[in-house]
Structure 1
Amino acid sequence: MKLKKIAMGLGCLAVSTMTMAGSYSVFPGYVAHGINTYNGSPIGDYSVVAPGVGMLNSETAILEIGALAAEGSFDSQQITPYTDRNTPLATTRSFFDFFVPGGEIDETTVNVTLDEIGTNYFGFTAPEDRVVAGNFEDSASEPSIYRAKGVNESPTVGEWEDIQGKMTVVERRNGKSIVRITIREALPNSIYTLWDVGIKNPSTETAAGYAVPLGGLPNAMITDNNGCAYKEIEMAYSPARSCEAGEASCSAYISAFYHWDAQVYGGAPAGTWSKLPTGIYAGNQMVFPTSGELLQEPVTELSKPSIHGCYPKFSRKK
């Protein structure tokens, strides 16, 4: 016997189906420009389940990507509904300024296109030692550091927003779960990591935020030539678990986190300990909200076939 339940806010939080063996829920992906934000507005309202958790309830959008501003500008432009989607993406200092108010940041890394952000190389002596990789077509016959073939090294706002995806959580009666995530039309031949962004002591005055690698380390996946990636993860808990008071923790959203510097940082989204914050080297591109009240509709939906996995012949990209 199956029982289907549809949970609705303004947007669709999940479609859940109960079975004798447990339950599974399907969560649509939401394009993001930062932490719980798209076009400068919050994707979800977490004021009930995460009161006092600033990163989920900030009145000011915590951005991790912007639109390229005029040369010499102090920061990139905030992306809004009126932004020209053909504008190149650019790095932003918003995340750093929120978490390190008054701190110093290397301003030469702000408001630059993503292809200007380098990566560490063999023989580097500090995390800030970086080299900007050349393009595949321009690589020398001798070994050198260059981007893989087909990488979109300087995407536009519109190309960032092409991403689509869905997450399915199969909950077992023993509390464990199987999580399946598919993203398509993302940036091709690029590194993404998956994160569980959530709440400790939810729905209480002592609620606190957390961010951990989804399913443990490694939590990375690489998109193919068509910008598709799929991952199945066996987990000790369920990201779809309750956010009611009395729970030790719950998930706010699962993040597909894009690393445009082509490297990952283990148990941290970026090298924040070395002044390498998100917004300069990486950022949330798609989130899968699992709690809270949704305030927006998904910008994209998974194209056919809507089942999990990568099917190149169905891709719009040629």
Structure 2
Amino acid sequence: MRTIDWVDDAIELVDQTKLPDELVTLRITDVDTLIGAIGRLAVRGAPALGVAGAFGVVLARGDAAQIARLRAARPTAVNLAWAVDQVSALPPEQALEAALRIRDDDIAACVAMGERGAALLEGERVRVMTVCNTGGLACVERGTALGVIQTLHERGRLDEVLALETRPLLQGARLTTWELARMGAPHRLIVDSAGPYLLGRGGIDAVLIGADRIAANGDVANKIGSYALALGAERAGVPFIVVAPESTIDESTPNGDKITIEDRDPSEVTRVRGVRLAPKGTQALNPAFDVTPHDLITAIVTEKRVIKP
């Protein structure tokens, strides 16, 4: 299954807000609808956003204002701006070919990252922990960190996955467990705050996460909760491994302090899928991402190399 593709002059993508209850495919023919889908996280995950941005430039047909709005739709994930820039730099008649190439490159990159990441992990069978969703839903097929997990499972080396629920929008609970179940991989769901404790208790061989932007010095922006896992992994002596394509490395951003962190609607914290959790009038902070310093990262796995910050 592909999360996103170009079909008959339109973008077709899985509406991730409907999962796990329904598998719904959206057909998008204009930039405004695409920006709306990106904003409400119908399509999400750094590589998938890159492919969406590339196809969005095709829909924009050279309209500079629409391209600029698309590029800024989500500020933390560098893949979106990277892909928009790649395709918009070309004449409109070459845009679709370039966008399809970005899609195909992402598919190939996920296969390569899965193999490289699986080879990096020692042990006949491994038990891993992960946060957010980094599978095919976050890319086009297979995924980044979850792509490594899928490769381990296919090779009979996966003992178990502990997936963090990933508050406030529950990408781990809704999406990662859905993907793990589809591939038949053994897994259990845990609350976010249990992650560091379980790392300290032992029995976890590695933490695998994705990335939305990697700064030039190796600092990594990823879904909120990643930094806490990195601290727990450091204390427990567990390898903390980031899996992301080369396009996520942003050499123009010197370090994590310079990464723009997206603040989302506070109502995502005070409500869960339409159900109010907090009293009316409760104020909330809702950073969508955090930054893990490079000195807490064991390795960064891309489709081309293993970087040890």
TM-score interval, smaller chain: under 0.3
TM-score in terms of structure 2 length: 0.26
| Higher helix proportion | 2
| TM-score normalised per structure 1 | 0.25
Q: Bigger relative contact order, structure 1 or 2, given CA contacts below 8 A and separation 6+?
A: 1
Task: Identify, as 1 or 2, the structure richer in strand.
Answer: 1
| Rg comparison, structure with higher value | 1
